[in-house]
Amino acid sequence: MIGGTLIVSKQNRAISRFREAGAFSPASATSLQAAKLRDSFVFRSLLAQGVFRETPTHKYWLDAAGAKAFVARRRWRLLLVAGVAAILVAIVFA
């Protein structure tokens, strides 16, 4: 659980850094260094999931629709896991 919390924290930090930089389009894209981020597994995962987009000059920008969809999927998975856990607890203690 702690590992998952750490990953979510790093995902949120990456999204926030690009929001703060105002990088919402290819024209306003920024480098990872300027956003004070590194090319990490977490960043690459967000890039692969469409949260970030890359320009031909290797700068990145936050795709607002991609970020919204990602957060919705993440929230859905959390609710699903919590629901399954609640059902299992109910079965065990019934």
How far from chain centre, in Å, is Cα 68?
9
pLDDT in tens, 3-50: 678 899 999 999 999 999 999 999 999 999 999 999 999 999 999 999
What does DSSP say about strands 60-62 and 52-54: parallel, antiparallel, or unpaired? Answer: antiparallel
> What's the pTM?
0.80
pLDDT in tens, 36-89: 999 999 999 999 999 999 999 999 999 999 999 999 998 888 888 889 999 999
pLDDT for 77: 83
What are the structural domain ranges in the chain?
Answer: 2-92
CB proximity list for 65: less than 8 A, separation 6 or greater: none
* pLDDT higher than 70, residue 2: no
